[in-house]
Amino acid sequence: MPNSNCDILIIGAGGAGLTAALYASRAKLSTIVLEKLTPGGQIALTDIVENYPGFPEGVTGADISMKMEAQAKRYGAVVQYEEAKSITKNGRGFNVQTSKGTIEAGAVIIATGAFYRQIGVPGEKELIGKGVSYCAVCDGAFFKNKEIVVVGGGDSAMQEGLFLTRFVNKLTVVHRRDTLRASAILQERAKANPKMSFIWDSVVEKVNGSGKVEGVLIKNLKTNQSQDFKTDGFFVFIGQDPATKFLQGVVDLDKSGYVVTKNNLETSVPGIFACGEVRSGAVKQLISACGEGCEAALAAQAYVEQAEHANH
């Protein structure tokens, strides 16, 4: 039978959520972590993490996820595989309706993260971490002196593309229109960069490769002609969606759906905190997510202890 009440309920078991669980459970607070998929979140899908301090040789995403989960459990955190559906206030605490029942909690930490939008073509999902990427900072260094294809035409696509030119020999942007949406200054920089070239009015229909990306199938939308295009890597920069559907009408969200927080990572509702990529303005890196998980846990601990004093 899953546990049904706790001091601190953490929704999401990525880097932010598992760090929050570690700090909350070490503070001797009963802690439940809800996860609907697998522990580790985005990082579990990452082939190798090279920019997390303390791992000079790099560490696989799966390995660091498992270690974070084991560390949180060691101090008593309980990980339950269920999905949060809604949150309602209950005195100074909260009732969280899940896919398996109701959990009562003194404070709630939202760490549900965000999902990179995929273009949804054959081969894309299968080759994530094997040449398909959604994060230039995370994976750029793996493509030193290689040739890559980028999809997207907005600011983030141009920013990330320009960053990737530090590593790659050649970068080809495939865009479905004949003009970019990116700001003028980014367009100028991109077009002036000798490593960047553009294939206009086109879409990627398929990612080719067995075990790793070897090429993409590009279709011209005006001529309907398709061509196989050799590439070592395929980066998709068409935005992210925060996992906040269940929070609509519960806490303040920004116009893109990310959770708005105050200085101590508290949301518009006292006792509900948010950390990691789900938070408006967050840096999309594992180390910052973990730092925010620590901060949110300490703030939630203070809230729970204050509530206890108020009751005595």
- Domain locations in the chain as residue ranges: 5-115+240-311, 118-236
CATH fold group of domain 5-115+240-311: FAD/NAD(P)-binding domain (3.50.50)
What's the pLDDT score for residue 2? 63
Do 5-115+240-311 and 118-236 have matching folds? yes
Q: Report the 10 Å Cβ neighbour count for 122.
A: 11
Alpha helices in the chain (DSSP H): 15-26, 61-74, 136-139, 155-164, 184-192, 286-311
Return the amino acid letter for 48.
I
Which pLDDT score, from 0 to 100, does residue 46 have? 79
Tokens 């003028």 — which residue?
Answer: 184
Q: Tokens representing 311?
A: 């009751």
For residue 23, give the DSSP letter.
H
* Bridge pairing between strands 170-174 and 147-151: parallel
Residues of the chain with pLDDT under 70: 1-2
Q: CA 281 to CA 254: how far, in whole Å?
A: 10
Predicted confidence at residue 284, as pLDDT, reads 85
pLDDT at residue 10, as a whole number: 98
- For residue 1, the model assigns a pLDDT of 52
Would you state the pLDDT for residue 3?
A: 72
CB 94 within 8 A of CB 105: yes
Rg over CA atoms, the chain: 21
pLDDT for the residue numbered 309: 86
pTM of the model: 0.89
Q: How far apart are CA 173 and CA 151, in angstroms?
A: 6
Strands (E), the chain: 5-11, 31-34, 48-49, 59-60, 78-80, 84-90, 93-98, 101-110, 114-116, 132-133, 147-151, 170-174, 196-199, 202-208, 215-220, 226-230, 233-236, 240-242, 272-274
CATH of region 118-236: 3.50.50.60
Q: What is the pLDDT of residue 277?
A: 96
